[in-house]
Structure 1
Amino acid sequence: MILLTELHYHPPAALFAELQRADGILLEAHEHYRKQTYRNRCLIRTAQGVQPLTVPVLDGNRAEKVSVSAIEIDYRQNWIHRHWRTLQTAYGNSPYFEYYADYLHDIYVSKPALLFDLNQQFLRLLLKCFRITLPLHLTTEYHARYPAQPSADNSGLFTTQLIADRRDWLTPKATSKPSEPDTPAASALVRPYPQVFGPGFEPGLSVLDLLFSQGPAAGRYLQ
């Protein structure tokens, strides 16, 4: 199975549960950018509750008419400092924040011009953190539906593999897109784990919350 997904900014942990069952990743590179999605935001848990972190983009008013791979980050705003300070405050006392902090910080301070590049760098890092080794490809054009995709196996021959379309499967708001019959419920894919702030377990957070809490054992909480 090839998992087709948009690129997120520190995506929810449920995405990595799906990736553990995939044979490859296909990133949507030719859709029009959509605002108020996980493409430029993530959710973390702080002492004040769940808080969104949003990457500002240039020309936000016209962003939805621009290809997602062309969206530029707005560095006129001091968002890197705000995000990093918030992550430090929320997770500085978690068991594994310091273990991963330098790798994350290096990507932030490199200041990629494009949101697509920033998200792709973070995704590749997170895949390494979860020890997920999968071939990763970008779409070459936009298709509303992907029933199958030709792909090369180790022998160099082409086979047809089913594509599981998970575009806009994870969203911070209610969606009008009907669920596919075989689309799993995101809430069922991540087992409760000890979080820094409680009481109770808060589902749907960025995968960073799980990673900082459980470190190398994080994959055990993905169904």
Structure 2
Amino acid sequence: MPILFESQYNPPAQFFAELAGHDALWLESHDNYRKQTYRNRCLILTNQGVKPLTVPVVDGNRSEKVKTSAIEIDYRQNWVHQHWRSLQTAYGGTPYFEYYADYLHDIYVQKPSLLFELNLAFLRFYLRCLRLQIPVELTTEYHSEYPPALVLDRRDCLTPKAAGSPEPDRKSVRPYAQTFGKDFVPGLSILDLLFMQGPAVGGFLA
């Protein structure tokens, strides 16, 4: 059965844990943009605690609805440099930062105009890193609901506000050593797990 998610920026590790056992990933390309979601932000761990990284977008605050796939990235703000510096500061000393850094940096400097394009580029990169051979299919029209027998609808089930809150009967991420603090912090971007575990990352997506 396929699983359906919205487009996310550097998704949380749980996003990828939930792909296991599904024969396709349906990516919602006709939903309306919503603020304060993983569509344009991710969570990383710093020496000051959890830090959100947010991609600024054009027209994200407009009152009328705009499709997520049509939302443009606001490059008038120097967010690429800020995000990259944040990643270097938080993860520069991790075992696998240098292993993945050039690939990630190449995606950033391409500066795609649309948020959806940026998210899709990162998604395809992470699927390769995790060796998840699952086809990604874009939705052709919007449906508020789908028959449960057709697809597992997980749109907007993972949110920054609920990061770290366990969900019953949902797949989770097995705790792993992190760069800061003694207690495991769940809900972080896949980047946190990737930089710490490298090729072994798949073993933590329970």
Give the TM-score, by structure 1 length.
Answer: 0.87
Secondary structure class of the residue paired with 1:14: helix
Which ranges of 4 or more aligned residues in structure 1 deviate by more than 3 Å? none
Is it true that 1:62 corresponds to 2:56 in the alignment? no
How many residues were matched structurally? 203
Distance 1:207 1:64 in 2: 32
Structure 1: tracts of 5 or more residues without a match: 149-160
Superposed CA offset, 1:26-48 (max 9, x none): 00000100000000000000001
Distance 2:90 2:15 in 1: 22
Structure 2: tracts of 5 or more residues without a match: none
Matched residue type, 2:186: P
1:64 CA drift (Å): 6.3
Instruction: Give the aligned CA root-mean-square deviation in angstroms.
Output: 1.7
Map 1:193-212; keep pairs closer than 5 Å.
193-212=176-195
Distance 1:189 1:131 in 2: 18
Give the TM-score, by structure 2 length.
Answer: 0.94
1:62 CA drift (Å): 1.1
Matched residue type, 1:94: T
Contact 2:8 2:40 in 1 (8 A): yes
1:192 maps to what in 2? Answer: 175
Superposed CA offset, 1:188-221 (max 9, x none): 6111000011111000000110000000001101
Q: What is the identity percentage for the equivalent residue pairs of Structure 1 and Structure 2? A: 67
Matched residue type, 1:80: V
Map 1:139-178; keep pairs closer than 5 Å.
139-147=139-147, 162-173=150-161
| Rg larger for | 1
Contact 1:33 1:68 in 2 (8 A): yes
Contact 1:8 1:38 in 2 (8 A): yes
1:20 CA drift (Å): 2.0
1:184 CA drift (Å): 3.8
Contact 1:33 1:64 in 2 (8 A): no
The 1:91/1:61 distance shift into structure 2, 3 A limit, reads same
Contact 1:33 1:63 in 2 (8 A): no
Map 1:104-123; keep pairs closer than 5 Å.
104-123=104-123
